[in-house]
Structure 1
Amino acid sequence: MPRALVVLGAGGAVGRGVVEAAVEAGRPVVAVGLDETARQALLARHPRADVVALVAPIASDADAAALAARLRGLGVAFDGVVASLAGEHPCGRLIDEPADVLQRTLDQDLLPHLFAARHLLPLLPADASGYVLVGGPGGRYPWAGYGHCSIAAAALRMMARVLHDEAGRHGLRVQLLSLDAPVGTEANAAHAGASWPKALAIGHRALALLDGARAPVAAPIVEFPAPAMTSRVIAAARATPPSSSRDRRLPVTPAVALPARDLRAARALLDSIASPTSPGSLHDEHC
């Protein structure tokens, strides 16, 4: 009997995309969400699929331990976990917001990943496909108006490195699939950017990481989508002087007109080539 994939945060946009990709691939799924409405909607969307849907919050160690006990009680073997755990946060300058805004962001976007990994990694056999965390944008560069989310995303990147190292000693692989833009959904279609990834595409990429979990080399952090590191982008980065700490705006010539994200990525690549061990180099990440 095929082993099941556990999807955490299955009631959210990314979680639904992961479930849909898994169903397309014929994988049995245990989908874990936060409310009964989302659970029922998920089952109605996949009436003939091998999907078990559970309502289970993961806001504490106790919650995660209870979820692990329920999963053991299903009497099925598990092949991997994809965790997309995050809250909804207001826009505002970090320096203007009360401290509990940042605390709440960490409580919703960072710590649930730790609680879940602590209790669910032991459920996976040594030959499991792996454990994939899905992280939001802003972890490498500040996200204007969402600095609190950037801090949580940056912390999740480090947590992924630590879990990757610790789990690897026991033959398991943990990786972070890091999104560089918000997710495009039907709900935000009116203002979504053309480059915003779709949930199903993210789901396919997460499954691809699981399918490649036994590859000889795998980085703890994988970017989605990969920055466009063409010679044109690199040439533009060389021609554009770095911004000062007082002015983060990137001058762009009409002939180039590249997205700021590409320019930043090119500079990061050039910096890593010039000084591979300098702080902030991307030597252990791949696209």
Structure 2
Amino acid sequence: MNGMLAPEVLVLGASGRVGSGVVAALLEAGSPVLAVARDAARLQRLAAMHADEPGLEVMVASVADDGAAQDLARRIARRPRPLRAVVDATAGVRRASRLLDQAVPVLSASLEQEVLPHLAAARHLLPLLQQRGGDRYLVAGGPHARCGWAGYGHASVAIAATRMLVQVLHEEAQPLGVRVQMLSIDAPVWTAENTARACPGWHSALGVGRAMVSLLARSSPDARCIVTYADNAGTMPPGLLGREFASVLDAASGAPGASDAGRAA
């Protein structure tokens, strides 16, 4: 294939609960993944879990502010692989407390930790995504964005603000040819590490990850800005990205019968 590389999916917050599920689901579907997180130790544990996956690369970086996100975009721009999509699975620290029991600056800090990294990432990665041939930008939404989360008032307000941010980005990114969407997750997420304390109704990280993959793999993209996660969306979609990447690369290389194969897929 003349040395061409399959496009990769960038996962921000890859070592977190949702992020780790997205990474696993993408690898399961045959997609190369660039996993980004700011905690080097957790990122190495993620890499060790998928040590037999040649399609996984990890990068220690942050999108905590404009400067950090700009530096990340510059590093990705130097990579040889095309960029197919971005999945933003970053999340702020969520501590139990009542709004009325805390000083006003506590809410300001929650907004800064939860919302601003999403904006910093979008400002620098959306233009890069367009330049490198990608067209999907997904954000993982936290629980209780529309109804208050009992005992987590600061998180509820910040998550609701993130939901509005995505709605604005959805409109503003249309001229770039990039579809920005949020997968709204209405309950906390469990992984192998927190299974013992998980409650009924929590969603599995892998199930959420598979739902993200389904959004990325649809040949006719879902037009909605906010897509609500449902448990049945977490089943493994057949074929998906591996087949899609193969047909795209075959067509690009001029392989005989490639156009017919692409239509059949």
| 1:9-65 residue CA offsets vs partner (Å, 9 max, x unmatched) | 001011111010011111111100111111211221112321110111211100000
Correspondence for 1:197: 203
- Superposition deviation, residue 173 in structure 1: 0.0
Q: Deviations over 1:173-209 (max 9, x none)?
A: 0000111001112333233222100100111101111
Tell me if 1:41 matches 2:10: no
Aligned to 1:218: 223
In structure 2, the residue matched to 1:53 is 58
**Contact 1:173–1:213 at 8 Å: present in 2 too?**
no
Match of 1:5? 9
Please tell me whether the aligned partners of residues 64 and 116 of structure 1 are also in contact (alpha carbons under 8 angstroms).
Answer: yes
Question: Following the alignment from structure 1 to structure 2, what is the Cα–Cα distance between the partners of residues 55 and 72?
Answer: 15
By how many angstroms is 1:212 displaced? 2.4
CA distance in 1, matches of 2:103, 2:215: 38
Change (3 A) 1:57 1:3: same
Cα distance in structure 1, aligned partners of 2:100 and 2:72: 37
Q: Which residue of 1 aligns with 2:91?
A: 86
CA deviation after TM superposition for structure 1 residue 73, in Å = 1.6
Percent identity at matched positions? 44
Distance, in Å, in 2 between the alignment partners of 1:47 and 1:158 is: 38
Larger RCO: Structure 1 or Structure 2 (Cα < 8 Å, ≥ 6 residues apart)? 2
Secondary structure of the residue that 1:31 maps to in structure 2? strand
Q: Which runs of at least 4 in structure 1 moved beyond 2 Å after TM superposition?
A: 125-129, 185-191, 212-215
Tell me which of 170, 177, 190 is aligned to 1:171.
177
Q: Which runs of 5+ in 2 are unaligned?
A: 233-265
Give me the TM-score of the superposition, normalised by structure 1.
0.75
Question: For the residues of structure 1 that align with 2:96 and 2:219, how far apart are their CA atoms?
Answer: 36
Q: Name the structure 1 match of 2:123.
A: 118
Distance of 1:38 and 1:73 partners within structure 2: 25
Code of the residue aligned with 1:164 in structure 2: it is: H
Equivalent residue, structure 2, for 1:65 = 70
Structure with greater Cα Rg? 1
Residue 230 of structure 1 is matched in structure 2 by none
Deviates more, 1:42-51 or 1:174-183: 42-51
Aligned CA distance change for structure 1 residues 213 and 150 (closer, same or farther; 3 Å): farther
Cα separation, 2, equivalents of 1:225 and 1:66: 35
Shift of 1:214: 3.9
The separation in 2 between residues aligned to 1:155 and 1:176, in whole angstroms, is 12
Partner of 1:107: 112
One-letter code aligned to 1:95: L
How far, CA to CA, are the matches of 2:19 and 2:177 in structure 1?
Answer: 26
User: CA deviation digits over 1:203-256, x for unaligned, max 9?
Assistant: 1101111122743x51100111279xxxxxxxxxxxxxxxxxxxxxxxxxxxxx
Counterpart residue type for residue 194 of structure 2: N
Equivalent residue number for residue 24 of structure 1: 28
Where 2:130 maps in the other structure, the secondary structure is: coil
Please tell me whether the aligned partners of residues 135 and 177 of structure 2 are also in contact (alpha carbons under 8 angstroms): no
Retained in 1: the 8 A contact 2:6–2:81? no
* Contact map agreement 1:93 1:146 (CA 8 A) in 2: yes
Take 2:77 and 2:134, find their aligned partners in 1: how far apart are those partners? 16
| CA distance, structure 2, for counterparts of residue 219 and residue 66 of structure 1 | 31
Q: Could you say what secondary structure the match of 2:71 adopts?
A: helix
Identify which range, 218-227 or 55-64, moves more after superposition.
218-227
- Structure 1, gaps ≥5 residues long: 228-287
Match of 1:148 among 147, 154, 175: 154
- Report the structure, 1 or 2, having the larger helix content: 2
Pairwise CA RMSD of aligned residues? 1.7
Which residue in the other structure is 2:256 paired with?
none
